[in-house]
A and B are shown apart, each in its own frame.
Chain A
Amino acid sequence: MGVDELKTMKNLKIGDKARIASIDTGVAGSQQLMEMGLSPGSEFQLVARYPLRGPFLVKLGNNRIAVDYNLAQAVVIDELNEGPDVLDS
Chain B
Amino acid sequence: MRAIFIGNPNVGKSALINQLTGSRLLVANYPGTSHKISFVNKDDSYFYDTPGIYSLHGLGDSAGIVRDLLLDNTGFRIVNVVDAANLERNLVLTLEVLALGLPAVVVLNQMDIAANLSIEIDVEILARELGCPVIGLPDGEGRGLDRLMQWIKQPLDSDIGIDPLQLEKLSKDSASSQCQHCAQACQHNVITIDRETIERARTIAARVVRQQPAVRRTYLETVQGWLDRPVIGTVLLLALAYGLFTVMVTLVHYLEEPISSAVQPFSNILTALIQELLPPGMVNQVLSQAVPEGLVIPFTIIMPAMIIVSVFISLLEDTGLLPRYSVALERVTSFIGVSGQAIIPLTLGFGCRTPAIMATSLLPNAAERFIIATLLSIVVPCAASLGVMAAVIAKFHAYIWVVAATMLAVMLLLGFGLSRMMPREEAFVYELPPLRIPAWKNTWQKVISRTGGFFTEVLPLLLLMNIVLRALMETGVLEWFKGLQGFSQFFFGIPAEALVAVLITIFQRYLAPLVLLNLSLSPREATIAITMIALSLPCLPVMTMIVKEMGAKRLAFILAMGAISSFLVGVALNLILP
Please report A residues at the B interface, Cβ cutoff 8 Å.
25-37, 39, 41, 47-55, 57, 60-68, 70-71, 88-89
- Asked if B55 and A70 make an inter-chain contact with CB atoms under 8 angstroms apart, the answer reads no
Q: Which residues of A contact B231 (CB under 8 A)?
A: 51
- Asked if B431 and A64 make an inter-chain contact with CB atoms under 8 angstroms apart, the answer reads yes
Identify which of A34, A39, A49, A68 contacts B230 (C-beta below 8 A).
Answer: A49
- Asked if A32 and B60 make an inter-chain contact with CB atoms under 8 angstroms apart, the answer reads yes
Interface hit among B97-105, B184-192, B277-285, B451-459:
B184-192
Contact with A along B193-213 (1 / 0, CB 8 A): 100001100100000000000
Contact with A along B214-236 (1 / 0, CB 8 A): 00010001000100111101100
Apart from A60-B89, A70-B427, what 17 extra A-B contacts exist at CB < 8 Å?
A25-B190, A29-B428, A31-B191, A32-B59, A35-B54, A35-B60, A35-B193, A37-B88, A41-B199, A50-B328, A54-B331, A57-B228, A61-B89, A65-B431, A66-B330, A71-B428, A71-B429
- Asked if A39 and B117 make an inter-chain contact with CB atoms under 8 angstroms apart, the answer reads no
- Asked if A35 and B191 make an inter-chain contact with CB atoms under 8 angstroms apart, the answer reads yes
Majority DSSP secondary structure for residues of B touching A? mixed
Closest to B31 in A: A36
- Asked if A37 and B92 make an inter-chain contact with CB atoms under 8 angstroms apart, the answer reads yes
- Asked if A41 and B230 make an inter-chain contact with CB atoms under 8 angstroms apart, the answer reads no
User: With A32-B364, A41-B198 in contact, do A50 and B429 touch (Cβ < 8 Å)?
Assistant: no
Q: Number of B residues whose C-beta is below 8 Å from A? A: 48
Please report B residues at the A interface, Cβ cutoff 8 Å.
54-55, 58-60, 85-86, 88-89, 92, 117, 119, 185, 187, 189-191, 193, 198-199, 202, 217, 221, 225, 228-231, 233-234, 326-328, 330-331, 334, 339-340, 364, 425-432, 434
- Asked if B86 and A50 make an inter-chain contact with CB atoms under 8 angstroms apart, the answer reads no
Q: Which residues of B contact A66 (CB under 8 A)?
A: 326-327, 330, 340, 428-432
Q: Which residues of B contact A88 (CB under 8 A)?
A: 225
Q: Which residues of A contact B429 (CB under 8 A)?
A: 29, 32-33, 36, 65-68, 71
Q: Which residues of A contact B431 (CB under 8 A)?
A: 36, 63-66
Q: Which residues of A contact B190 (CB under 8 A)?
A: 25, 31
A-B residue pairs in contact (CB < 8 Å), sample of 23? A28-B425, A29-B429, A32-B60, A32-B427, A35-B59, A35-B60, A36-B89, A37-B54, A39-B193, A50-B327, A53-B331, A61-B89, A62-B117, A63-B86, A63-B89, A64-B228, A64-B431, A64-B434, A66-B430, A66-B432, A68-B330, A68-B429, A71-B427
Q: Which residues of B contact A29 (CB under 8 A)?
A: 185, 364, 427-429
Identify which of B58, B327, B426 contacts A57 (C-beta below 8 A).
Answer: B327
- Asked if B330 and A55 make an inter-chain contact with CB atoms under 8 angstroms apart, the answer reads yes
Among the interface residues B189, B217, B425, B427, which one has the most CB atoms of the partner chain A within 10 A? B427
**CA gap between A32 and B62 in the complex, in Å:** 12
Closest to A68 in B: B428
- Asked if B225 and A89 make an inter-chain contact with CB atoms under 8 angstroms apart, the answer reads yes
Q: Which residues of A contact B230 (CB under 8 A)?
A: 48-51, 54
Q: Which residues of B contact A68 (CB under 8 A)?
A: 330, 334, 339-340, 426-429
- Count, A-B residue pairs, CB within 8 A: 123
**CA gap between A26 and B86 in the complex, in Å:** 28
- Asked if B229 and A64 make an inter-chain contact with CB atoms under 8 angstroms apart, the answer reads no
- Asked if A26 and B428 make an inter-chain contact with CB atoms under 8 angstroms apart, the answer reads no
**CA gap between A48 and B328 in the complex, in Å:** 11
**CA gap between A68 and B334 in the complex, in Å:** 10
Closest to A26 in B: B187
Q: Which residues of A contact B187 (CB under 8 A)?
A: 26
Q: Which residues of A contact B427 (CB under 8 A)?
A: 27-30, 32, 68, 70-71
Q: Could you tell me the distance in whole angstroms from the C-beta of B97 to the nearest C-beta in chain A?
A: 15
Q: Which residues of B contact A55 (CB under 8 A)?
A: 327, 330, 340, 428
Closest to A87 in B: B225
**CA gap between A49 and B426 in the complex, in Å:** 19
- Asked if B331 and A50 make an inter-chain contact with CB atoms under 8 angstroms apart, the answer reads yes
Closest to B211 in A: A62
- Asked if B86 and A65 make an inter-chain contact with CB atoms under 8 angstroms apart, the answer reads no
Closest to A53 in B: B331
Q: Which residues of A contact B434 (CB under 8 A)?
A: 62, 64
**CA gap between A55 and B428 in the complex, in Å:** 8
**CA gap between A39 and B199 in the complex, in Å:** 11
**CA gap between A54 and B475 in the complex, in Å:** 59
User: With A26-B187, A36-B89, A68-B339 in contact, do A48 and B428 touch (Cβ < 8 Å)?
Assistant: no
Q: Could you tell me the distance in whole angstroms from the C-beta of A68 to the nearest C-beta in chain B?
A: 4
**CA gap between A89 and B225 in the complex, in Å:** 6
**CA gap between A42 and B381 in the complex, in Å:** 44
